[in-house]
Structure formats: C-alpha cells, structure tokens
Amino acid sequence: MKLLLLTVKNMRRNLIRSTLTALGTMVLVFVFTLIWSVLSFLDAVTAEKTENLKAIVSERWQIASQMPYAYAPTLAEGAARKPADVHPVDSMTWSFYGGTIDKEKRTRENTFFAFAMAPEKLATMMDDLELKSLPAKDAAEMRRVIDLMKQKRNGTIVGWEKLKQMHKRVGDRFTVNSFNYKDIDLELEVLGQFPDGRYNQTSVINCDYLNAALDAYPQSHNGKKHDLADKALNLVWLRVPDTEAFSRVQDQIMKSPLYTQPAVKCETAASGIASFLESYRDLIWMMRWLLAPAILLTLSLVIANAISISVRERRREFAVLRVLGFRPRHILVLVVGEAVALGGFAGLASAGGTYYVIDHVFGGFNFPIAFFGAFFIPAAAILWGLGAGVATALLGSVVPAWSASGIQVTEALSKVA
Amino acid sequence: MVGRRSLRELVPPYEILRNKRVSDNGFAVRLIDIHRFFQRGSERLDVLHGLTLEVPHGEFLALMGPSGSGKTTLLNLIAGLDKPSRGEVWVGSDRISDYTESKLTPWRTRNIGFIFQFYHLLPVLTAYENVELPLLLLSLSARERRERVSTALEIVGLSQRLHHRPGQMSGGEQQRVGIARAVVTDPKLIIADEPTGDLDSRSASEILDLMQELQKSLSKSIVMVTHDPRAARRADRMRFLDKGSLVDKPPDSFLLDSQEALA
C-alpha cells in the first residue's frame, strides 16, 4: 500500500512532464474511443442474433433496391400462403424520399431526407425507438406524435439536430422539392421530434402521403404514371422470433412465384447491413487494423518516452533504493506502477469525458458511413479507455522499468563518491 | 543544534534503536586479505590488493585517502554492494562475501545504515516518509513503524519537521534526515560516505556531533570515508588508503590535498 502511495507521489515529481504525458494519452484515447465506438456499433449491427431478429427483404440484383409497392402486403406476411407457413411477428416498409427545402439554394442544410413508412411502426420496429424501451416521458411524447401523424398524413417527425440545421421548429411547414421522386414535391408539417439520440439527424414521413402523391401523379401528367410508381418500395423489414423462423420465412419468400419481376432476396438485418457496408470494407479495415493499432502504438511510445526520461533522471535514486534493500522487482513495480497509474487515469478521464460530452452534450457525433446517422459512445467505452491507457502504459514502461530494476548500484553511485 | 534533545534524555524510547545484536567475535567488520580488481577489456585494474582491516564493535573509524585510492570500493565491499575478487568480508558474524545478491539485499536493510554525501532523499516524500522507507521492507506494524520513525527523527532533532519535504530543508537538515533513515532499522553498522562533504563547517560539525552521539549512546559502529581531516579527527581511529593498500601514515599527495582543503 505504501509502495502504491509512493508510485502516485512520483507522478508529482515532474508535474509538467506528467501533465503533458497525461494530455497526450487523453488525446489519443479520445480518438481511439471515437474509432472504436464506430467499429463496435458496426460490429453490433452486423452480428447475427439468434432470437427476435430482423430480416430485410430487398431487390435481389440491384443496389439501391427498388421494388413495386404491390409486394408490400404479401411480404409483410412473409409470403405465407399455406396454413403451416410461418408469419413474421411484425413488419415495416421503407421508401427513401429526399429533396431540398430551397430549390434555389441546394445546401447540406437545406437537404431533407426521410424514411417514408407507416407511423405506427415507429413504435414497434425501429431500433431504440420502441416505446417499451424509452423513458416514460419520451415514450408518451412519441405516442402523441405518432397518433398525430396518423391523423395528419403530411406530418413529419424530425431529429432535433436536423431541425436546427434547417432552421425549422415543431409546427413549421415547408415544401420539399424531391431529388429522387421528380415532381413529387411534398408539403410537410413538423409534428414533433425524436428523443435525443441516434435519430437526431433522421426524418420520417408517412408512406401513405408519398403513395397518395404517386397515385395522384397521372392526373396532372396526362395519365402517365410516375417513373418510380412501381419502384417505390425500397426495403421491407420483418421481425421473426428465432433463426428457425427466419429460415422458414426466407424460404417462403425466395420460393414464392410472386416476386419475380424484380426478384427479391431475404437476409438477416445483420447480413443485409454487412452487404451494404461492403463498399466501405477498405475504410473499416483500415480503421480497425491500421488506425486503431497506430494510435495504441503511438500512445505506448509517448509513455515509453516519458518513462525513459524519468528513469534516466532517477538512476541514483533507484540505486539508493537498492542500497536500502529494495529488490529489483520493487523497482520494476514502482516504475511500471507509475506509468500504469498515469495511463489508467488519463485513459479513464478521457474516455469518461468523451462519453459524457459526445452523448450528453453533443447528442452523438456524425460519421458519414452507410445510412447511419449519429454515432454514440457506449458506456463500455469508459472501460476501453481505462484498458487502453493501462495496456499501453504497461507496454511502454516495461523496457525502461526493466532497465531501472537492473541498475548497477556501485556504478550509479560511483559518480557521487 | 536547535530542537534536538540529548540521546540520554530519550530513554526510553530511543532504546528501540540501540544496537543489541553485538556478535561474539568482537568485531563489527573484518576484512581478510581483500583483493578487488576490475577487468576493462584486456586491461586489469587492481583497486584493492591484500587489504586486511578489523573494526571492533562500537568503534568510529575514519578512512582517508586521495581520490582513486579505493575508499569507495572498500565501503561498497563492507556494505555488501560489491564482492571482493578474493578474500573474506565479515560484518559481525556474517561472512557476506559468500552471500548471493538475493540474500544480501534483505541483509543490508537490517544490518547496514547508509549516510550519503548528497543525502539522496526522495524529493517527493516528506522527512517522515523518507525515514520510513526502509521500514516498509520489514515486517512491522504501522504502530511499530510510527514509533521507530518518530524516535529516529527526534534523535536527529527534526521532530518538528516531520512533514517537510527535502526541498524545504537546509543541507544540514536533509543530512539529519539521512542519518535518521540510516539508524531507523537499528543496523549494526553505519557506513558514511563523505557525510559532511556537501555541508558548511557549522552544519558539518553538528552532523559529526550527532554521529559521535549515535556511536556512544546507541552503540553503533561507524565506518566513515572522508577527505576532511577535521571530520576524521572526530573518529576513534583513522586509517589511510593509498593505491589500494592500508597505510598507517597519510600519503604525501593526500597531505597536500588536505592542506589545500583546510586553507
């Protein structure tokens, strides 16, 4: 215990050096925490579940998937036709609708992108928005807004960050000049916003409103259907209880004669997202295997440098400790302990601070990859920070500590005598 | 010396630091036909050759000699920090020239107290914590440690400065902390390497007074290396080292150095 106290006191020996080392560690742990948060999220969404899993149905041979909306009712039932066929527990359709709220000035701020879907499905099918998983206050507000959206088909729910970006507030109305649905310009009313979190940049509109606009299109265009009228269904999400049910539903859909023009595929959400992320494979690989290790290596070198200088300066002190009866292992523990305490403290403080600031002050951080909006720092990151700080400190201090423990007492003190 | 009580006033508790482990052979240190050489490439550097020395229990011995005469090498051998190339080193009844490093390390904690020229206190620790440092290696309760440290610091007259760090103390005070650290484990033998070399004459005199008191009141044997003839005269006996051998009279080169030092 007293040796531990000595270790901590040694950190005060050169406050500037200790502070700079801690700051260097904190900056690197901060970057590491951000990177690892993105990677762990992607790992989580591409990890196969065995229970209560989601399946994605999309067009088989084309990205982006564009299926006729007529597929939706039967796909929602998992293409079940016989009494023994398996039905999904729940389902949701997605159509991607994007445009600008100022066609004269197309900027990122003016761009509006929304999932067109059935409002009720927000409460049951969207990850982290299921009412049962929300705090009571947020759940009540979401319930109110969903019910309102069912009544007002032109309603939209927008994340607070996106609203702020567009300089809009709840209750405002605006018209979207669509990029992908040419001439389907929707007038929308902001009914509410999502709870603070991963949907801060997301918007949702009622699919019935989009479909009604597509249905009305021929009336103003000499009876001609819109180009996307039969391609308005981008994704169908199905919830199934387990992997066996998924296999059955997949089989039912893939063998169904209903989906031939175009053909569809059914895969787990994890597999579907993984396919989607395939185009980011190199970027993700570099983040995981080059950037993150490079940060950890740099961190080790920063600590190794600081500890080496400290050990060189304290050669005589270690020699005196050896004279007093301290064994090499005591010296080893003192030096490694000092580095580990410093690295652990800085790592913990940095990851804890990152978690608080990113999640609770900024409401996530934007990292434009696939269709994911804001990323969040998981609470477990606090432990990663501690672990990264401790592990790199250990790695960086072993060699200087070993050299300190093997100090030749007579040699170190001979310069004095 | 301000604030320091005479050791005779401290009975008890200073008894806990009085040497009660005097061995039977009557000698604190015995060096028998000691040779020490260092190999530097193909060259052999003979530092000590055929040196024999006996220090009776309770004696205060001053070792003098010019630079490079082998004083520090001799101290290192007595302290178990180095091993002779040939010969025997006895400290009390322990023949330490045969000890392995792993046996010598704990032996040093219990049997040898060191006083260094430049004090070598840990700057981040208080006076109390510096003195307590060697006790952390012994199986003592917190209460026993507290008692020993308080007594050692009272002996050296620093009981009012327990919580001061070395940087907040004068050179003389730091050396007194160094002395308290040397006696706190109740060693048989105190080794002092130029203990007054970095002090002004007044502080040096106080340190020598203290060392004499330790010798007399706590029955410590002391071997001190010094260049200072005034310091050496405080010892019971002086021996001179010249080119690795003990001689009875100071070598001429050393006399010249000493005269310059005293001038």
pLDDT along chain B (263 residues), means of 10: 48 52 70 91 88 93 89 92 93 92 90 91 92 91 92 90 93 94 92 90 90 88 91 92 84 59 50
Query: Which chain B residue lies closest to A9 (C-alpha atoms)?
Result: B124
Tokens found for residue A230: 């039969």
Q: How far apart are CA A50 and CA A44, in angstroms?
A: 13
Q: How far apart are CA A372 and CA A227, in angstroms?
A: 28
DSSP conformational letter for A233: B
pLDDT of residue A47 exceeding 80, the answer is no
End-to-end Cα, chain A, rounded Å: 33
Question: Which pLDDT band holds residue A274 (cuts at 50, 70, 90)?
Answer: confident
ipTM: 0.84
Which residue in this structure is represented by tokens 């295997």?
A289
Q: Quick one: pLDDT at residue B44?
A: 87
Judge: A325–B118 Cβ closer than 8 Å, yes or no.
no
- Say if strands B43-56 and B27-40 run parallel, antiparallel, or are unpaired: antiparallel
Among residues A102, A120, A108, the alpha carbon closest in space to that of A157 is found at A120
pLDDT digits (tens, 9 = 90+) for A286-325: 998 999 999 999 989 988 998 899 888 888 889 999 999 9
Query: Which chain A residue lies closest to B119 (C-alpha atoms)?
Result: A320
Judge: A325–B81 Cβ closer than 8 Å, yes or no.
no
Q: How far apart are CA A20 and CA A283, in angstroms?
A: 31
Query: Is-cis flag, bond preceding B62, omega within 30?
Result: no
The Cβ of residue B67 has, within 10 Å, a number of other Cβ atoms equal to 11
Q: How far apart are CA A397 and CA A141, in angstroms?
A: 53
Q: How far apart are CA B107 and CA B187, in angstroms?
A: 10
Question: Which pLDDT band holds residue A277 (cuts at 50, 70, 90)?
Answer: confident
**Burial of A316 per CB tally in 10 Å (0-12, 13-18, 19+):** middle
User: Chain B partners of A10 at a C-beta cutoff of 8 Å?
Assistant: 124
For residue B247, the SS3 value is strand
Q: How far apart are CA A57 and CA A77, in angstroms?
A: 12
Query: Which chain B residue lies closest to A4 (C-alpha atoms)?
Result: B136
Residue A204 near residue A157 (C-beta atoms within 8 A) = yes
CB nearest B108 (choices: A2, A325, A413)? A325
Q: Does B68 touch chain A (CB under 8 A)?
A: no
Element (H, E) at A42: helix A15-46
Judge: B136–A3 Cβ closer than 8 Å, yes or no.
yes
Element (H, E) at A207: helix A207-216
Q: Quick one: pLDDT at residue A413?
A: 78
Q: Quick one: pLDDT at residue A237?
A: 95
Question: Which pLDDT band holds residue A53 (cuts at 50, 70, 90)?
Answer: confident
Q: Quick one: pLDDT at residue B252?
A: 67
pLDDT of residue A10 exceeding 50, the answer is yes
